Amino acid sequence: MPVTNDMILHLEQMKSFYRGLASGEIYPRWEEDTNRGFGAPTTSYYPPGVYYLTSALYAISENWMVTLLAAYLIMMAASGAALYVFVRRFLSRGASIAAIVCYMFLPYHLLDQYHRGALAECLSFVFMPLMLLFAEELLMGRDRSNDAQNNAPSNERDPGRQQPRKPRSRVLLNTACLALTIGCFVWCHPPTAYQFMLAFVLLVVMYAFIRKAWKGAMAVTVAIILGLSLSAAYLYPAFVEQDLIRHEFVSNTWPYHSTYLFAQGTTYDMFALAWIFNTVAIAIGGVVLLFLEPGLIKPNVGLRKRIWMWVIVGCCASFMMTPASFFISRMIPKIEIGVFAWRMLGITTLLAALIAGACAQAALNARRPKLQSGRNSLASLATVTIVGGAIFLSVRIVAGIFGAPAFASADEHINLAMMPKTGPVEPLELPRLERAELAGGHGSIEIEDWRPEHRVLNVQLSAPDKLLIRTFNFPGWRAAVDGNPSIIQSGEALRVELENSDEALIRAASFRGDLPVVDGKPGRIIGTEPLGDIEIELTPGVHRVALDFVFTSPRRLGALASLCSLVLVLGILVVSLTSRRAPSTNSLHDY
Give the pLDDT confidence score for residue 370 in this predicted structure: 62
Confidence at 165, pLDDT banded by 50, 70, 90: very low
Is the per-residue pLDDT at 514 higher than 90? no
Degrees, nearest 5: CA angle 358-360-361: 65
- Please report which confidence band the pLDDT of residue 27 belongs to, taking 50, 70 and 90 as the band edges: very low
Work out the angle at residue 50's Cα, subtended by the Cα atoms of residues 12 and 226, and round it to the nearest 5 degrees. Answer: 140
Q: Please give the model's pTM, rounded to 2 decimal places.
A: 0.84
Label the pairing between strands 484-486 and 454-461.
unpaired
From 85-89, 189-193, 428-432, the region with the lowest mean pLDDT: 428-432
* Contact present, 147 and 100 (Cβ < 8 Å): no
Residue 513 has pLDDT above 90, yes or no: no
Name which of 374, 173, 348 is nearest 276 in CA terms.
348
Q: Is the pLDDT of residue 587 over 70?
A: no
Choose between 166 and 306: higher pLDDT: 306
Quote the pLDDT of residue 376.
61
Residue 238: partners with Cβ closer than 8 Å, 6 or more residues away: 44, 45, 190
Other C-beta atoms lying within 10 Å of the C-beta of residue 518: 16
Is it the case that residue 569 has pLDDT exceeding 80?
Answer: yes
Query: Is it the case that residue 426 has pLDDT exceeding 60?
Result: yes
pLDDT at residue 159 tops 50: no
H helix or E strand, kind and range, residue 28: none
Tell me which of 109-113, 492-496, 519-523 is least confident.
519-523
- Bigger pLDDT: 43 or 540? 540
Instruction: Report d(CA 188, CA 59) in Å as an integer.
Output: 20
* Domain positions in the chain: 5-155+164-411+562-578, 431-549
Higher pLDDT, 493 or 316: 316
| Least confident interval from 80-84, 241-245, 363-367, 514-518 | 514-518
Q: What does the pLDDT average to over 508-523?
A: 79
> Can you give the pLDDT at residue 203?
96
According to the model, what pLDDT value does residue 22 have? 38
What confidence tier does 508 reach under pLDDT thresholds 50, 70, 90? confident
Q: For residue range 195-223, what is the model confidence (pLDDT) as tens digits?
A: 999 999 999 999 999 988 899 999 999 99
Q: Which helix (H) or strand (E) holds 419?
A: none
**SS (HEC) of 31-57:** CCCEHHHCCECHHHHCCCHHHHHHHHH
Q: Express each pLDDT in 72-124 by its tens digit.
A: 999 999 999 999 999 999 999 999 999 999 999 999 998 888 888 888 899 99
Q: What is the mean pLDDT of residues 487-504?
A: 86
| Alpha-carbon dihedral angle through residues 206, 207, 209, 214, given to the nearest 10 degrees | -130
